[in-house]
Structures are given as structure tokens and as C-alpha cells.
Amino acid sequence: MLGIGAYDWKQRYTTHMSRKTYESTGTTEDGATIVLDTPLPVRGRVRVQVEPESRAARREAVLQAIRLRQQARGHQPMSREEIDAYLCESRAEDERATSLSG
């Protein structure tokens, strides 16, 4: 038996380890409201732990969202050959502009 004010850490740890946890990302709107990117399979009161995302994770999330929207509208990215031709033409334009001003 535990005394008054004592805490059974082992019981808390075991109980915590048997709970299901879910992880999602989201944004805070006003410091009190969190909007999740994906819904959770849980209803009712929950315990929330907030950890700010790194810039790299946010950047990757934005790029992934852009790619998904592009794919949804049928966007086809440039091929390697098209990129090479574009860069070659761009460099040629730079050289022409430099020779005209010099």
C-alpha cells in the first residue's frame, strides 16, 4: 500500500505503455485550436503533446502537397532532355546578353 502523497510510478508506466497512441501533424490556429492534417480514430477527450516541426519537415510537407496537386491535374514534369535543352538555351541567352553589354 502506498502512503498519502506517494505515487506508484510503475503502475503509471505500465498503464501508459498499454495505451494506443496516434501521431498526426497539424497546425495551430489561435494558440488554442489545433487542426490536424488527418483525422484520428478517437473521439472524446484526449491528451495532446505538441512538438514544433523542423523546417525541413515543413518544407517536405509543402513539396509533397505541391506534387500531389500537380499529379491530380495531370502535370507531367520536364524530362531530363527537356531540362538540359532549357539550361543550354538559358546559358546561351546569358552569353549573348553579356557580349552585348561588354
Q: Nearest CA to 15 among 51, 50, 47?
A: 47
Sequence spans of domains, the chain? 10-101
Chain segment 40-60, per-residue pLDDT in tens: 888 888 888 888 878 888 888
Backbone angles phi, psi at 59, to 5 degrees: -60, -45
Q: For residues 25 and 53, is the Cβ–Cβ distance under 8 A?
A: yes
Residue 1 has pLDDT above 50, yes or no: no
Predicted model pTM: 0.38
